[in-house]
Amino acid sequence: MRITLAQIEAFYWTVQLGSAQKAAYHLNLAQPSISLRLKDLGEALGVELLERSSRGLIMTAEGRMLLPRVKSIMAEIQSIQQRDSALAVVGAIRVGLAEGFAVNCLAPLLAGLLEDYPSLEPEWVVATSTTLEASLLDDKIDVAVLLNPLGHEKLALKPLGPQPTHWVAPASWDMGSAVEPKDLWDKPIISNPPPSAMYRQVTHWFALAGIQPQKISVCTSVAVIPELVAAGLGAGILPTAMALRYVAEGTIQMLPSSPKIENGRLFLGSRAGVADQKIMAVERTTSRVLKKMRYLEIDNNNSTLDNPMA
């Protein structure tokens, strides 16, 4: 008698779930079908694989010897299915990234997508989060990583986690202990223009003390802002991961602050009601890559960040 994959599958799930009835439910089959497959597998091998006891079905010695090989077969099948699923994700997808996020994460995210979904063809758009929200609504992009999105009923937003954020200033500035709004209100501040997430973060921090900054110079590029800070032209807030690069060069300093600057909140946004396998693929890989990078785990309150030379 020939051994079939259906028989092996019935044996595997019966053992995993503890009963033929549960295996049948899991495989969407009638219990007699599972029992028949188990019987046929035993006859094909010429041994008893399972026996009844007061605790239900248990493996015989022969069943225990067979189980590791069955697990290996099932693992290989699962691997093939996952690979086939990845290959089924084919074609172009327009992916937007908030610029501060893109500076730190675009390269590993692209590498992750190439590894997970080799037939996917991402087209990258890097801009401020508010610009990306508008592009989603206008169907100019398919999915985007957004920072502190304004939100819209036509958008579906899935939280990714916090993007650690820090005040930064030129290394030449003599800033002592934790800065407060009164320490920075009369100094030049560099920020993305309103209503960007960065601008809202900056103005909210000052508003907590009932203060408005005297001068905010706007710059549309997050990536250019640390260059301006490093040149001594003003202070600003940046994703902590971006700031650390310049701290290592000795051109800017991260400022401990009171109150703490609020971390940004990252979301994966797409148009509401759109079920696209490619969007779900981007979501899965983004979550995996961020976890691998530990990007969301940089502690904004860590003493080593408040004193990078410690």
In tens, the pLDDT along 200-221 reads 999 999 999 999 999 999 999 9
Domain that holds residue 158: 91-162+264-297
Which of 47, 64, 87 terminates a domain? The answer is: 87
Q: What is the pLDDT of residues 39-60, one digit of tens each?
A: 999 999 999 999 888 777 889 9
**pLDDT tens digits for 127-156?**
999 999 999 999 899 999 999 998 888 899
Q: Which of 271, 238, 259, 267 has its CA nearest to residue 301?
A: 259
Q: Whole-structure pTM over 0.75, yes or no?
A: no
298: its two tokens: 């940089």
Alpha helical stretches, state H, the chain: 5-17, 20-26, 31-45, 61-88, 99-116, 129-137, 181-184, 197-207, 225-230, 240-249, 277-293, 303-306
- Identify the pLDDT of residue 26: 84
Most distant CA pair in the chain: distance in Å? 87
Q: For the residues of 218-259, what is the DSSP string, one character each?
A: E-S-TTTHHHHHHTTS-BEEEEHHHHHHHHHHTSEEEE-BSS
Please check the confidence at residue 167 and state whether its pLDDT lies above 70.
yes
d(CA 157, CA 147): 11
3-state secondary structure of 167: strand
Q: How far apart are CA 116 and CA 142, in angstroms?
A: 19
Query: Is 304 contained in some domain?
Result: no
Statement to judge: residues 133 and 72 lie in one domain: no
Same domain, 143 and 155: yes
Closest to 137 in 3D by CA, of 103, 101, 106, 96: 96
CA neighbours within 13 Å on the CB side: how many for 121? Answer: 3
Domain boundary among 58, 87, 116: 87
Same domain? For 238 and 196 the reply is yes
| Confidence band of 262 (pLDDT split at 50, 70, 90) | confident
Residues 287, 151 within the same domain: yes
Asked if residue 149 and residue 284 are part of one domain, the reply reads yes
- Distance, in Å, from the CA atom of 122 to the CA atom of 99, rounded to the nearest integer, reads 16
Percent above pLDDT 70 for the chain = 93
The answer to whether 143 and 155 have CB atoms below 8 angstroms apart is no
Tens of pLDDT, residues 292-308: 999 987 654 333 333 33
155: helix, coil or strand? strand
Burial class of 157 by CB neighbour count within 10 A (0 to 12, 13 to 18, 19+)? middle
The alpha carbon torsion through 135, 138, 140, 145 (nearest 10 deg) reads 40
Q: What is the CATH number of the domain that holds 184?
A: 3.40.190.10
Let me know whether 120 and 50 are in one domain.
Answer: no
Mean pLDDT for the chain?
89
- Residue 78, pLDDT above cutoff 90: no
Q: What is the CATH number of the domain that holds 50?
A: 1.10.10.10
Are 65 and 104 in the same domain?
no
Mean pLDDT lowest among 14-18, 83-87, 101-105, 287-291: 83-87
Q: What is the mean pLDDT of residues 178-183?
A: 93
Domain end: 44, 65, 87, which one?
87
Q: Indicate if 211 and 235 belong to the same structural domain.
A: yes
pLDDT at residue 191 greater than cutoff 60? yes
| DSSP letter (8 states) at residue 193 | P
pLDDT at 308 (0 to 100): 33
Q: How far, in Å, CA of 228 to CA of 216, rounded?
A: 13
The answer on 219 and 279 residing in a single domain is no
Q: Which pLDDT value is given to residue 7? A: 93
**Same structural domain, 235 and 171:** yes
Over residues 217-231, the pLDDT tens digits come to 999 999 999 999 999
Look at residue 310 in the predicted model and tell me its pLDDT.
28
Whether 307 is in a domain gets the answer no
